[in-house]
A and B are shown apart, each in its own frame.
Chain A
Amino acid sequence: MSALDIVLFYFFATIALGAALVVVGQRNPTYSAFALIVSIASLSAIFGLLGSPFIAVLQVVVYAGAIMVLFVFVLMLLNVREEQKSEGRGTSPAFKAAALGLGGLLAVQILVVLLRATREGPAWAAHFDASARQVARRLFSAEYVYVFEATSILIVAALVGSLALARGGTSTRDKAAPPAGKSE
């Protein structure tokens, strides 16, 4: 890594983390959504710095460009301005304890991954080839192809299910425009 790469890495890492903090700390859901987009974009820049432009671009195309558009779309349709403070179950001690436990578990997990990565970091990076060709080869190898296809079936099932729910099972043949997220 050259000095320039390191400077760029810290630049994008700071933006990604800062934006991620805004996502959880903000009361206004629209700000949160846009902060998440910024965070994803910086993450993609880090992937680029790591020498895997294909993953970097996919990150933006799939998350920032497709999924977040749907989030933003819903937020604008509902015109949510401010998050309401929930009074109900969210504040009960049992939920707080559960949240704390799960959060702690996640923190431990991240710590373990980080420690492993710093210990054998260069060894990982050495056989880390994520060019488009390599990704495709791995994806369509016997190891992953069934999982990959099963995932696509799962997504189609979810899609049909959400359409059925949205239509409400009525037989009225209204000519409503199809939902924009049909492709996901």
Chain B
Amino acid sequence: MTPLQQELLIALVKVVVIFGALLTLFSLMTYLERRLLAFMQFRLGPNRTGPLGLLQPLADGVKLFFKEELVPEGANKWLFIAAPAVAVVTAFLSMAVVPWGGPVTIGGRDILLQIADLDVGILYIFAISSLGVYGIVLAGWSSNNKYTLMGGLRSAAQMFSYELALGLSWVGVIMIASSFRVADIVESQRGDWGLLHWNFLRQFVGFVVYVIAATAEVNRTPFDLAEAETELVAGFHTEYSSMRFALLQMAEYVNMITVCAIGASVFFGGWLAPLPALQVVFGVDIGLLWFLLKLAAGLFFFVWLRGTLPRVRYDQLMHFGWKVLVPVGMLNIVGTAAWYAFFA
């Protein structure tokens, strides 16, 4: 094989593996979310299909496959079909630059545990997440239904507003690493004191802004106004059924996984161990395991939030985004810059 063919083959294998991992994580998440939420509310949740109810996602999938695909009268048919695809594609795309672990050597080749190691990795994530809004907007608009339209518009305004705060929250971290590459940002958190070097301590303000903005960005409670069921039936996906509905759900969960993966990489040291001594166990670098643990903790946090907080009002959301989160993000940048200019 020529080197180009080898590169292509490796890339293809990575894409397939990460795609499969994401799909598995997505179906596991639909189950875990319902189960954990149930425990938080003193219920049992789905526990009948298979051991502990673990086969529930499979049963849901089969059910959704056999449901009728409805296209509402007066809907814009092509855009209505395209919307879930746009949502899912943009959701999966941003996972391409997230590193799942440090570089590993297989057969004399250094292989990165990420699909693309871009120079502008973190900006790429930002760009793709800014495109994610179109899936929701298209779904809301093309359904020709006032509730979906309201849901789509709300979510467009919300994602647009909080995207800014999301971007601002990364700037301090980028300053510390002086690189846009995600792997460089992870490596900049390596140190003798383990987790004391992680960015959630060094960039605490940025971290708080990120958590809030990310929650809004993926439309999760307490910012799930795009699908506020008390006002909007089910928001932008009211008219969707069968697999198209499943695709929209998938996009939402994959976005959540992405946001947690990025949070783990940018603020919690990615594949680094909390104590340097725990990085290599029995001669094996267990970076992937640490990354997955951090990812799981992030996902649990989102479920926990949903079980705890009520939904905010729409005007509260907008005021908070523009008048609190964005200024705080800006101040954080000025503060970090001042630190580098005068003390470091």
Contact = CB atoms under 8 A, between A and B. Distances in A.
A76 interface: yes
Nearest to A44: B127
Interface stretch (A9-17, A60-68, A87-95, A139-147): A60-68
Nearest to A55: B120
A182 interface: yes
Nearest to A72: B137
B78 to A, nearest CB: 9
A175 interface: yes
B160 A180 contact: yes
A23 to B, nearest CB: 16
A30 B75 CA distance: 14
A152 B120 CA distance: 24
Task: In the A-B complex, list the 4 residue pairs whose CB atoms are closest, starting with the nearest.
Answer: A65-B130, A60-B127, A180-B157, A57-B123
Interface stretch (B21-29, B38-46, B148-156, B295-303): B148-156
B124 interface: yes
Given A60-B130, A73-B153, A53 B322 contact: no
A56 B149 CA distance: 31
Given A69-B156, A72-B137, A61 B126 contact: yes
Contacts of A73: 137, 153, 156-157, 160
Nearest to B326: A183
A54 B134 contact: no
A180 B161 contact: yes
A166 interface: no
B130 A61 contact: yes
B133 interface: yes
B120 A175 contact: no
A25 interface: no
B134 A53 contact: no
B131 A72 contact: no
Given A131-B119, A180-B160, A76 B152 contact: yes
A132 B141 contact: no
B149 to A, nearest CB: 7
18 contacts: A2-B4, A30-B141, A37-B134, A41-B131, A57-B124, A57-B126, A61-B127, A64-B127, A64-B130, A73-B153, A73-B160, A76-B156, A132-B119, A175-B315, A177-B314, A177-B318, A178-B318, A181-B160
Contacts of A132: 119-120, 180
Contacts of A37: 131, 134
Interface of B: 4, 76, 79, 118-120, 123-124, 126-128, 130-131, 133-134, 137-138, 140-141, 149, 152-153, 156-157, 160-161, 163-164, 180, 314-315, 318-319, 322, 326
Given A37-B131, A60-B127, A65-B126, 13 more contacts: A53-B118, A60-B128, A60-B130, A61-B127, A72-B134, A72-B156, A73-B156, A76-B137, A76-B152, A175-B315, A177-B314, A180-B157, A180-B160
A77 interface: yes
Given A76-B153, A131-B119, A182-B322, A57 B133 contact: no
A4 interface: yes
Interface residues on A, range: 20 to 34
Contacts of B133: 69
A149 B326 CA distance: 21
B131 A60 contact: yes
B79 A30 contact: yes
A37 B164 CA distance: 20
A71 B147 CA distance: 21
Nearest to A37: B134
Contacts of B123: 54, 57-58, 61
A183 B164 contact: yes
Nearest to B178: A133
Nearest to A77: B153
Nearest to A56: B120
Contacts of A60: 127-128, 130-131
Contacts of B4: 2, 4
A158 B142 CA distance: 32
A23 B213 CA distance: 33
Interface string A5-46: 000000000000000000000000010001001000100100
A51 to B, nearest CB: 10
Most buried by A among B160, B315, B326: B160
Contacts of A4: 4
A34 B134 contact: yes
A136 B314 CA distance: 38
Contacts of B138: 34
A97 to B, nearest CB: 37
B314 A53 contact: no
A65 B134 CA distance: 9
A41 B118 CA distance: 17
A175 B314 CA distance: 12
A14 B321 CA distance: 40
